[in-house]
Amino acid sequence: MSGTQPKSFLKSGHLPTLAAAFLYFDFSFMCWVILGPLGIQIATALHLDPAHKGLMVAMPVLAGAILRIFNGILVDHVGARRAAIFAQLVVILGLAVAWLVGVPSFDAVLLLGVVLGMAGASFAIALPMASRWYPPEHQGKALGLAGAGNFGTVIAALAAPALGLRYGWMNLLGMTAIFMTLVLVVFLALAKDAPALPKKQTLAGYFAVLKIADCWWFMLFYAVTFGGFVGLSASLSIYFHTQYSLTPVQAGNAVAACVFTGSLFRPIGGWIADRIGGILTLSILYVVAALALVAVSIGLPTLPMALGAFVIAMLALGTGNGAVFQLVPVRFGREIGVMTGLVGCAGGIGGFYLASSLGFSKQWTGSYQAGFLIFAGLALVAFIGINIVKREWRASFSRGYADGSSIRI
């Protein structure tokens, strides 16, 4: 136990770096999901069927999942600041090349999706950058605020369809490259690595955490919460267009309402988890998300009803994202870089599965129902899992302080 009372959140850590992590994460996520809001226009230009539409929006999610492991290791080797600079340059150059050379085919779209995956992999850099500045009692708030960079998906949903229609969707890629260059300049001015960095390990040492059962539990929990959030973020524009005949701009506005809710509640999820514990928070949220997805799966007759169900689902999933990362640093504080990469990878794989399965479900059955129902089932599996481990985790990971305060899990 510590002999002194813990500092308040504002007196702990490094606020400029927290702001830089949020900024980097926010606009990287804007890039990561941009194919979703532009999906209607791209699919029309390239004559894509539902299955190819699903793969198009899912590819950046899958690439981001895999690259999160790479970025997690890179953070521990060269520091979060240098890793972020490298990742931003890759995305900027990729967008610029796509703008100048063009994206004439489905294969080219998939290749662009791989590059955009590096933007999604910002998760494995931004969160350790923030986490290492803050003590355990403020991890939920710090990572919730850094992770609120999910708001970038709102920006993409609101801005990309209208700008793509006005200037052309390929020209929008060039505009995004220029904007991201400005973001990099601000990041360079604000970001700073924490003074206490973990010792470098061998590659085998990093992946030693895979031998620990808790690592796999965290990967499952985040595959559902974040996978559901990003999978829906990428897919809903096409879904609203197909199911309710919305224009690209109207579909983007509907998606923005859903994504805004999920993004807003991520930091709130960290705050709630700090107060009542991440385990209880997740137990409630998995059930709420599952019920909302089941409701959507039956094919709600009106847009307001569907929008309401998706908002509830995104609220639960977004809050769950913050709750998961209230728990991860408590259990894996020394391995936060690689754990962020592994858990983030699982979240991306969950998103890839949801986005692609919705496309294949529509292609093969004529309905999105199977895709939604299976993911609702996964949420219930996660609910069972969190209740299996809760007694052991509460006994093993809870920490107390001399003033009587404690970290609730």
Fold (CATH) for 16-194+209-401? Growth Hormone; Chain: A; (1.20.1250)
Range with lowest mean pLDDT among 138-152, 334-348, 357-371, 395-409: 395-409
The token duo for 56 is: 């198009």
What distance in Å separates the CA atoms of residue 162 and residue 149, rounded to the nearest whole number?
22
Look-up of token digits 């039956």: 298
What residue spans define the domains of the chain? 16-194+209-401
Phi/psi of residue 406, each to 5°? -160, 165
Distances (CA, A) of 378 to 49, 235, 353, 362, 372: 27, 18, 11, 19, 10
pLDDT at residue 7, rounded to an integer: 62
Label residues 270-300 b or e (16+ Cβ within 10 Å = b): bbbbbeebbbbbbbbbbebbbbbbbbbbeeb
Mean pLDDT of 279-295: 96
Mean pLDDT computed over every residue of the chain: 88
The 10s digit of each residue's pLDDT in 184-200 is 999 999 999 877 766 66
pLDDT given for residue 405 in this prediction? 45
Nearest to 28 by CA among 104, 115, 91, 85: 91
94-109 pLDDT, tens digit per residue, is: 999 999 999 999 999 9
Contact 312, 292 (CB under 8 A): yes
Per-residue DSSP letter, 189: H
Judge whether residue 213 has pLDDT over 80. yes
